[in-house]
Amino acid sequence: MPIETKYRTCNLCEAICGLEIKVEDNKVISIRGDEEDTFSRGHICPKAVGLKDLHEDPDRLKNPLIKRNGQWHETTWEEAIAYAARSIVDVQITHGKDAVAVYQGNPSVHNLGTSLFSPDFVRSIKTKNRYSATSVDQLGHHLAAETMFGNGLFVPVPDINRTDFWVIIGGNPMVSNGSMMTAPDIRGRIRDIQEREGRIVVIDPRFTETSEKADEHIFIKPGTDIWLLMGLMNFVYQNDNIQLGHLADAIDEYKIEAIGQAVDSFDLDIVASRTKISKEKLSQFYTDYCNANRAVLYGRLGISANKFGGLCHWAINTLNILTGNFDTEGGAMFTNPAVNVSSKKSPVPRFGRWHSRVRNLPEYGGELPSSTLAEDILEPGEGQIRALITSCGNPVLSVPNGRKLDDAFESLDFMVSIDIYLNETTRHADVILPPATGLETPHYPIGFHNLAIHNTANYSDAAVDKSEGALYDWEIFSRLKKEVEEYRLEKTGEEKSDKPTFTLEQKLGFLLEFGPHKLSLEELKKHPHGLDLGALEPQLPKRLITPDGKLNIYPDIYQKAVERLVNSQVEEDHEFLLIGRRNLRSNNSWMHNLHRMTKGPNTCTALVHPEDAETYNINDGDHIKIRSRINVVEIPAEVSDEIMKGTISIPHGWGHNREGIRLQTASAKAGVSFNDLADDQLVDELSGVSVINAIPVSIEV
Ligand SMILES: Nc1nc2c(c(=O)[nH]1)N[C@H]1C(S)=C(S)[C@@H](COP(=O)(O)OP(=O)(O)OC[C@H]3O[C@@H](n4cnc5c(=O)[nH]c(N)nc54)[C@H](O)[C@@H]3O)O[C@H]1N2
Ligand SMILES: Nc1nc2c(c(=O)[nH]1)N[C@H]1C(S)=C(S)[C@@H](COP(=O)(O)OP(=O)(O)OC[C@H]3O[C@@H](n4cnc5c(=O)[nH]c(N)nc54)[C@H](O)[C@@H]3O)O[C@H]1N2
Ligand code: SF4
Ligand SMILES: [Mo]
């Protein structure tokens, strides 16, 4: 058999690196960075080779599984799909449409088939109880985009290719490879900024891998970034640094005045006392930001999934706008992708149109906050959730209070999981439908081209064949939808949708042809290293799609949130605040079964500052107990001055010691789950996003 060379985009994270893959007889021989990729220019990270391990993982499911009397059995696709679809419809006939909930996890947006075909299936279920990883993650970005620019997916990205001053707040792109900002080769791009005499400042309670490469690191008390940002806004007003430039006509002047009045009380004394950053440091940082030629503020997970996550993302956009760093080169900019996901206009913001049953938290974009899922299953009463569909998600490990979710899922009448593993979440299912994945699927990173710091388009064919009899994700979703509609018609007479059905290539082809660049899929296929569609360009006010066509710099929801913030009491001092951490060879909860990703020392440790370690008589490697309001876990301590005093950092996605999983490598190195400590009752009051950073905890030795 000849060795073939295939080019493809890595689908594991948001950086969409180009890969060069050697394949012989459907076996992957090697995976390297594609030097000719128009965007990533050869960059990859250690996870890329995980795609080979994923393809070969003996624990990965290839055939559907059905649970009978507590035992798993392989079954045919016909039986599995009919069982899943009919059970869903039966629950809805008995208990109403909302009795079925849907949870969609992170790989949904990293799989083309799921991105394009799951929405139609989910719509066919007609439930208001939809959940996803968004509300444990980037919800604040979407809410700000929805209310300020008119569409939640019209999210600005930092133009790091041209900025002179990049402020990273609560992000660690050297490890995460960038998020809500598709930018392969972060290291190279940081170096480029420094070579043109620009600066990078990291604001984080931990001195991170990114801080090491940056020009300055500022330690901040977890959960207090909103004061830092409001203080900066006040500084901008006090020092007459407002420059609206080409956006002036698109913004109501009275709103600019209202913001100025609202931030008036955030002086250096207040900000310093909340953030634990000295007044001198604050004032130096504020001055540097205002003096920089082209500056951009960028905030990520550390501030998104936080008590004031929603407000932080409004504040970051607003600061970039007020200082003339918005929709201009080197500031925050919008993409012009070949498939544009943010062109739809809505008469009202898609927020708060309905609320969760037990806690009355608001919907965003058709989804309720995931921190409410467990209680909406467990609490008896009208509208209780009785059945669940999960796809590409592992909420037991990724959503606060995983133990409560374990109980909730066990109590369901029916559960189906579309997933490639029998893991902590899917073990509760009655049926698992495993699609082909990774190198076996064609790919086009729709979502990430929309968030990229340079416009490109890249289509990849599958690099290897899927195993015999396996189905692609879009086939599973199409068949489920058809079965749901046919069975419902038979049982209730409810009409089927009359939308035509398409193949994956047809659907992508239409989106490309009707997109801003009018590309054809055939043409795109001729460019295996991707097509360069040009640098980001200013696009406002033309592309604003708010109801009045203006840029709403101060939407009502944020006015109220600012008032709440101004009136908020100083929080009592907690013994410790717990924050999260990511590791270069890990990807949320699901790549720990790939041996090359988990070999070497245990990375699931609790970082503790040396002075705190001394107070509690903790030595490096000691097992310590960490207690939150809901639970206590035991974990090895790693004593390090990279973490701020009074703060503890634990990575998430571990805790593979639950019974009934089929993950040999992962269970050998179980770790503990961060979300056994994270409290489902702690959410951002404004947006409903889960709080997974700055959780009050104590240490027991
Ligand atoms: N404490 C804490 N919690 C967090 C975070 C944190 O930093 N700290 N991060 C949050 C963030 S940012 C996110 S995005 C969420 C992630 O939350 P989730 O999306 O719920 O969790 P993942 O760990 O990404 O789980 C992915 C699931 O998809 C399956 N899977 C992988 N590939 C495929 C595929 O091709 N098809 C299908 N059908 N399934 C597949 C895996 O087996 C796994 O079950 O976690 C959040 N939770
Ligand atoms: N290797 C790897 N890459 C990944 C993932 C992975 O699991 N592993 N997950 C992917 C996913 S789903 C996402 S969403 C992205 C996330 O991408 P990032 O947001 O870049 O990644 P994190 O490592 O979660 O960075 C959060 C940072 O916030 C800091 N932090 C915590 N609390 C606070 C706070 O209160 N204030 C401030 N200022 N900082 C705080 C933490 O110390 C940490 O350095 O990464 C993606 N890429
Ligand atoms: S950085 Fe992300 S996209 Fe690039 S190789 Fe690593 S996992 Fe894949
Ligand atoms: Mo995420």
Ligand 2-lining residues (CB < 6 angstroms) = 13, 106, 137, 169-173, 175-177, 179, 203-206, 208, 220, 222-223, 225, 300-303, 306, 579-580, 582-584, 586-588, 693-694
Residue ranges of the domains in the chain? Answer: 4-56, 65-137+343-525, 161-328+539-566, 576-700
**Nearest ligand to the C-alpha of residue 15?**
3
Q: Which helix (H) or strand (E) holds 140?
A: helix 139-149
CA distance 436 to 64: 12
What's the confidence (pLDDT) of residue 497? 87
Q: How far is CA 271 from the centre of its chain?
A: 29
The class (CATH top level) of 576-700 is mainly beta
Helices (H) and strands (E) in the chain, counts: 24, 26
Give the 3-state secondary structure of 14-75: CCCCEEEEEEECCEEEEEEECCCCCCCCCCCCHHHHHHHHHHHCCCCCCCCEEEECCEEEEC
**Nearest ligand to the C-alpha of residue 105?**
1
CA distance 192 to 122: 44
The ligand 3 atom at the shortest distance from the C-alpha of residue 48 is: 5
Tell me whether the omega of the peptide bond preceding residue 347 falls within 30 degrees of 0, making it cis: no
- Look up residue 68 and give its two tokens: 């009978």
CA distance 477 to 474: 5
The Å distance, Cα 16 to ligand 3 centre, comes to 6
674 lines ligand 1 (CB under 6 A): yes
Which of 243, 175, 245 has its CA nearest to residue 208? 175
Residue 660 backbone dihedrals phi, psi, to 5 degrees: 85, 15
CATH topology of domain 161-328+539-566: Dimethylsulfoxide Reductase; domain 2 (3.40.228)
CA distance 307 to 650: 18
CA distance 581 to 593: 19
The Å distance, Cα 133 to ligand 4 centre, comes to 7
Q: Given the structure tokens 């707040």, which residue do they identify?
A: 169
The ligand 3 atom at the shortest distance from the C-alpha of residue 587 is: 7
Query: Which residue's CA is the closest to the ligand 1 atom numbered 7?
Result: 580
The ligand 2 atom at the shortest distance from the C-alpha of residue 584 is: 1
Predicted structure pTM score: 0.98
Longest Cα separation, the chain: 72
What's the confidence (pLDDT) of residue 499? 86
**Nearest ligand to the C-alpha of residue 422?**
1
The class (CATH top level) of 65-137+343-525 is alpha beta
661 lines ligand 1 (CB under 6 A): no
The class (CATH top level) of 4-56 is alpha beta
589 lines ligand 1 (CB under 6 A): yes
Given a contact cutoff of 8 angstroms between Cβ atoms, the answer to whether 295 and 163 are in contact is yes
107 lines ligand 1 (CB under 6 A): yes
Which of 11, 5, 13, 4 has its CA nearest to residue 458? 11
What's the confidence (pLDDT) of residue 10? 98
Given a contact cutoff of 8 angstroms between Cβ atoms, the answer to whether 618 and 637 are in contact is yes
The Å distance, Cα 137 to ligand 2 centre, comes to 10
Q: Given the structure tokens 């398409």, which residue do they identify?
A: 502
694 lines ligand 1 (CB under 6 A): no
E-assigned strand segments in 211-339: 216-218, 295-299, 332-333
Judged by DSSP in three states, 199 sits in: strand
Residues of the chain with pLDDT under 50: none
What's the confidence (pLDDT) of residue 642? 98
β-sheet with 18-24: strand ranges across: 4-9, 18-24, 27-33
Q: Which amino acid is at 165?
A: F
